[in-house]
Amino acid sequence: MLATALFVTYQASREYFGFMTSKQMSKGMPPPPRVVSVATTVMCMGMTVFSHFYRGKIGTLLAVASFALLVLQVVANKRPKFAQLASSLFGLFYCGWLPSFWLKLRNLALPAPDTPAAAFLTGITGWPTTVGLVAVLTAVAVIIAADTGAYFVGKSLGRTKLTDISPKKTVEGAAGGMAAAVATALGSWALFGWPGSPLAAVVLGVMVFFSSLFGDLIESIMKRDAGMKDSGDLIPGHGGLLDRFDSYIFSGAVTYFFSVFVLPFLNALHGPGGLSAAVSAGLAPLGA
């Protein structure tokens, strides 16, 4: 998974700075110097490696990398613009920090509930079926289901435009995507016993649906401002990597947040102690 994450981080960073250096984007916001874009790409890949080997403890690394990037901007530019500083920091956040949450999620080492599906998964992969593995597979399946449901429902029933950012998206399509996302999360609960209850599965489905939807919309904003139809030409006929993976950028972080904060809260809410126990369970990771 590390090799895949490194490739995604590298390519996403290249395409992101392709947006920043486009002629249309450059009219209103001068792009950062090339040395800064290269340094940002290297830092993004470094975050991925650090997140893998140090189990995702990268909060301090993000702060230090951000400071180093700002220093480099000041040194490399005679008259740096605030827009250049902001675009570089957003690149570090968007292409490095956010994707690293997929590794943080995968590294959740608690064993998953012992179900026939979990045993089958262990048999075909040779890996222990952990909460991290099930969470990654569930999140990916939910995103695919959301995209598929939104496409087919929107194509057949779509009438009401959802937003001007992406004119082809409809309210009906979004509703279909959310329904498909929730159904898939419930399917994961039925197969793997994760997340811990039907309510938790519904919450997960809704959260991942919105993270995938807004990930798509945010990339659309960047493409529009850059005057580009696609983020690149990595995949013939389908554009760049960000065109295919924009729905995943925020979803890893959202699924990790659900797994570490929201799920303990929901589980405790139904147990002894009720709301007070749930609040304690939800806040417990902050003290770790």
Residues 6+ apart with CB under 8 A from 210: 254
Looking at residue 58, what is its pLDDT?
79
Per the CB < 8 A criterion, the answer to whether 8 and 240 are in contact is no
Per-10-residue mean pLDDT, the chain, length 288: 87 90 70 88 90 76 92 88 89 93 92 93 92 96 97 94 92 97 97 93 98 96 87 80 93 96 84 50 47
Global pTM exceeds 0.85: yes
Which tokens sit at 82? 């605030």
Report how far Cα 187 is from the mean position of its chain's Cα atoms: 21
Please tell me what DSSP assigns to residue 69. Answer: H
Report how far Cα 131 is from the mean position of its chain's Cα atoms: 18
Please tell me what DSSP assigns to residue 130. Answer: B
Looking at residue 101, what is its pLDDT?
93
Cα gap 111→190, rounded to integer Å:
17
Residue holding tokens 């401002």? 225
